[in-house]
Amino acid sequence: MDIKKFDAIIIGTGQAGPPLAASLAKNGLSTLIIEKAHLGGTCVNVGCTPTKAYVASARRAFIAKNSSNLGIEIEGKVEVNLKTIKARKDKIIQDSRDGLNKMLTETEGITLLKGTAKFKDANTVEVDGKTFTADKFYINVGGRARIPEGFKEVNCLTNTSILELEEIPEHLIIVGGGYIGLEFGQMFRRFGSKVTILESGDQLLKREDNDIAEGIAEIFKNEDIDIRLNAECISAKNVGDQIEVNINCTEGSPSIIGSHLLIATGRIPNTDSLNLEKIGVKMDKRGYIKVNNELQSNLPHIWALGDCNGQGAFTHTAYNDFQIVNSHLFQENKRMLSDRFMCYAAFIDPPIARVGLNEKEIKEKGLKAKVATRAMSKIARAKEMGETQGKLKIFIEEKTEKILGATFLGTGADEYIHSIIDLMYADAPYTVIRDAVHIHPTVSELIPTMLENPKPIN
C-alpha cells in the first residue's frame, strides 16, 4: 500500500486548523489538512456567521415593527422574506469558504484533502482508502447537535437544518433554553413565528445568575415568546404534518403541538469516527479529548484544538487554541490554556456578555467579594436609545481589588464587556477603570461610576 508522509497532519478546518496549517507551512513543515465537509467548520457554516446574519435581519424586522414610541411610524405591513434572508446568508458563507479554499490550496507547503479521516495507528490515518503518516497530528474536528432519546424518530430540526428553511414556521417549539435555543427563538419570533421554549431547569441559561436569567425571561415574554420552565421533555411524535411534544411540567399542558421542532439541548464532539480508542487517546465520558495545559493529548504527538477538547466551544477559544499550540511550536513567549479567562456572549437582543466568575460561582467558591451593579434603565444613553432592558454586574475580590468577572445584559453588552476583559488580562485592580474618564454619552461611561461604591456580596 502506498503511504504518503507529511511532517504534520491536521484533521478539520475550523477556526484553529487553517491558521495552524499556514504557520506550520511557513516554518517549513509539509502539512496535510483534511476536511470531510465544508471548509470553515461550525463558525463559518452553521454557527456564528449564518446565525448572526439572521440575527441582523430579525433586528431590522423588530425595529421596523416597534419604532412608533420613538416617533417613527410605518404604514402597511412589514414583510419578512426568509428566502432572501437565506440567500444573503448563503452568499456570506460561500465567500468565507472560497477565501479559505484559496489560502489552503495556494499556500506552498499545504495540501488540502477532502474526505473522512480515521486513525489506523498512532502515526497513520486513512482517508477514503488512502493512507498518510506524520510525526505530529492536530485534531480540530468540532462538534454537532446532540439529539436526546425520545426525539430521534421525529422530524426535528437542529442548528444546522433550521438554517435551510425557506418558509417561516407557523409554530416553532424549541427544546432547550441555552444560548442556541434563545438566539433562534427570538429571531424566529421576530420573523413572525409563534415560539415556545421548553427548558428542563428552573431558569433559562442555567450557568447564569438568577437575576440575569429572570431578566432574559422578561425580555422574551415582552416579545410574546412562551417559556415553559421545569419542563422535562419526555418524547415527541409526528402528528400528520405537525409535531407533538409530550412534557412533564409543574404548570401548563402536558403536551404541546407545533409545526416545527428545534432540538437545542447541547452538543457532542465529532470524535466518534476517528478511531481514537484504538490508538489509546484518552477521552472523557462525553467523547471530548483530554488535553494538558499545552493542548496535548496523553499521546504527546497528538493535540486537540477547538470544540473537540471541551475547553471552550467558541470560535474565539478555538482560535486561542491555535495561538497556544503555535506558541509552543515556534514562539519564545509560551501561552497556556490556564492563562485564558473564559468569556462569551449570547447574541439575543439585547445581548448578554460574560467574563470570568459570576455571583453564583463566587459564592460556591467561598470567595470574599464585592459587586457593582447598574440597571440599564438608569443609564442615560440606554434611555435615549429606548433600549433600557437589562443590567450590568461587576465582581471584585476584596483582598486584591482585582476583577473576578462581569456579566452584562443590555444594549451593546457584547462590545463593552471587552473593557473588563482587557483589565483582567492586565492583572490590574478595578480602580484603574474606576478612575478612568469615559466618553459621554455612552453606555460604558457608567462603568467607572458604578465601580465607585461596590457592595459586599451577601
Name the grid cell of 152. 430521534
Rounded Cα distance between 438 and 445, Å, is 5
Rounded Cα distance between 83 and 53, Å, is 13
Angle at 331 between CA 326 and CA 332, to 5 degrees: 145
Question: Are 248 and 232 within 8 A, CB to CB?
Answer: yes
- First-to-final CA distance of the chain: 68
260 labelled catalytic: no
Rounded Cα distance between 168 and 82, Å, is 7
Q: At what angle do helices 179-191 and 210-222 cross, to 10 degrees?
A: 20
Spacing of C-alpha 353 from chain mean position: 11
- Among 171, 260, 301, 440, the active-site one is 440
Q: Are strands 31-35 and 3-11 parallel, antiparallel or unpaired?
A: parallel
Residue in this structure with the C-alpha cell 448572526, named with its chain if needed: 52
Strand segments, DSSP code E, in 27-82 are 31-35
Question: Are 248 and 199 within 8 A, CB to CB?
Answer: no
The amino acid at residue 429 is P
Question: Are 21 and 41 within 8 A, CB to CB?
Answer: no
- Is residue 64 packed enough to be buried (19+ CB in 10 Å), middle (13-18) or exposed (0-12)? middle
Q: At what angle do helices 48-65 and 82-106 cross, to 10 degrees?
A: 150
Neighbours of 373 (CB within 10 A): 16
Active site residues: 440
